[in-house]
Amino acid sequence: MALTLAGGVVAVYYVAIHPGTAAYDLSLVSTAVALGERIRPASGGFAFDLPTAADRVARADRFDEVYYAVRGPEGEFLAGDGDLPPPPPGTERNGDVAAYDAVRGGRKLRVVDVHVPCAGRYCTVTMAETTLKRERLARDILLSSVLPQAALAAVVLALVWFGVARGLRPLRGLSEQIRARSPRDLRPVDAAAVPDEARPLVESMNRLLGEAAEASAQQQRFLADAAHQLRTPLAGLQAHTEIALAQPVPEACRAELEQVHGATVRTARLANQLLAMARAESGARGAAGPAGVSLRQIAEEGANGWVHRALARDLDLGFELEDATVTGDAVLLGEALSNLVHNALEYTPRGGHVTVRAGPAPGGGARLEVEDDGPGIPPGERARVLERFYRAPGTAGTGSGLGLAIVREIAAAHGAALEIGEGEAGRGCRVTLRFRGVD
């Protein structure tokens, strides 16, 4: 629009300035013709007879200074201002008139040179004036064309802005809706409130979301089925190795059986973790159901198994439990807390301390928290340990790298924040699940 406005202004200027300039030139020509009528034959030549009052009238102008020069047929000077510039070489004449621009005393002039009849011959009257009113005319033309077009452009821009903003408002709402979604929320987008022009885009996006949801569902079904199918034979293998270890067997065989038993226990845990991961991911949209879950009860239900494992590793396992109820899935929350406690017991050296906390959180909400005084997690690794199958370099133990990834999925399913920090006095690790509200 700026380019169009500039082009329109230039076009209006050149269309309007030519008639205005021609009118001023015609006024000079008329004055020159009138002065030419005052040329009279005289003895030996010609004379110019102009009363003083008429001279003042000829030179009178509201804005510019006016000059004239009268010359005879042979170019002899008769009257007026003798230093007016003559027509430049090559100046074209329109009949008896030549119009041109010149400079006199550092001031720009508009000059007309007119041949007027005198006693059967032609004399010359040159009229000149400064260009103030012509410049004023040009300025007035520009202002008179720029201001209306600028106002029109402003109105058009306002209308376009309003129309585009109004037309894109549904798309802006659609953008906010998609931005607020969880990365795993693959529900189709409602296309009812979308403009017709954007409906094919939304339909294509919904088709893509549907394909992604189906692929994700197939992956979760495979993961859950595989983990479920592995649990039974692994449980049987673990039971058989435990029975075999309870029998008197040679030491060489016992060592091999213990290795098989340990590998079976780790594989069974991995299968259980894969199953928990599948359940957490598939429940990402619906895990936080209407049921109220007591965080204290979740911790108390798992305490018996954790205590035995802590005693076996000579660890001090403590509990600081208060009443706090959140909305969610008790099984998934129990799995999350179990993974946190398992990690703390696995990586804390003998003689260490592990504390499980549940209850209201400082500043509002509720929390599930496990703290230990083990080696801790370096700050640079705290984001990466939440990835699947990732273990920090130099980490001891037999973990698979799935525990914290499962906790992250369950936290996301319940709208909880997962925080990893240092334990008391800057030692060990503290992992907290912080829930926004308490029922």
DSSP 8-state assignment for residue 94: B
- Supply φ then ψ for residue 79, to 5 degrees: -165, 170
Within 26-94, strands assigned E span: 39-42, 45-48, 66-71, 77-80
Interval 294-353: pLDDT, tens? 999 999 988 888 998 899 889 999 999 999 999 888 888 888 898 899 889 988 999 999
Count Cβ neighbours within 10 Å for each residue of 390-419 and write b for 16 or more, e otherwise.
ebeeeeeeebebbbbbbbbbbbbbbebebe
Using only the alpha carbons of the chain, give its radius of gyration: 49
DSSP string, 355-378: EEEEEEPTTSSEEEEEEE-SS---
pLDDT of 278 above 90 = no
d(CA 95, CA 113): 11
Q: Distances in Å between the alpha carbon of 74 and those of 71, 86, 123?
A: 8, 14, 8
User: Is 2-139 a domain of CATH 3.30.310?
Assistant: no
DSSP 8-state assignment for residue 392: -
Lookup result for tokens 């339909």: 203
What whole-number percentage of the chain has pLDDT above 90?
21
Domain ranges of the chain: 2-139, 181-285, 286-435
Residue 224, strand partner residues: none
Count Cβ neighbours within 10 Å for each residue of 248-257 and write b for 16 or more, e otherwise.
eeeeeeeeeb
Q: Which CATH class is domain 286-435?
A: alpha beta
Q: Do domains 2-139 and 181-285 have the same CATH topology?
A: no
Interval 338-397: pLDDT, tens? 889 988 998 899 999 999 999 998 888 899 999 999 888 888 888 888 887 777 766 665
| Record: fold of 181-285 | Helix Hairpins (1.10.287)
Cβ(370)–Cβ(434) below 8 Å = no
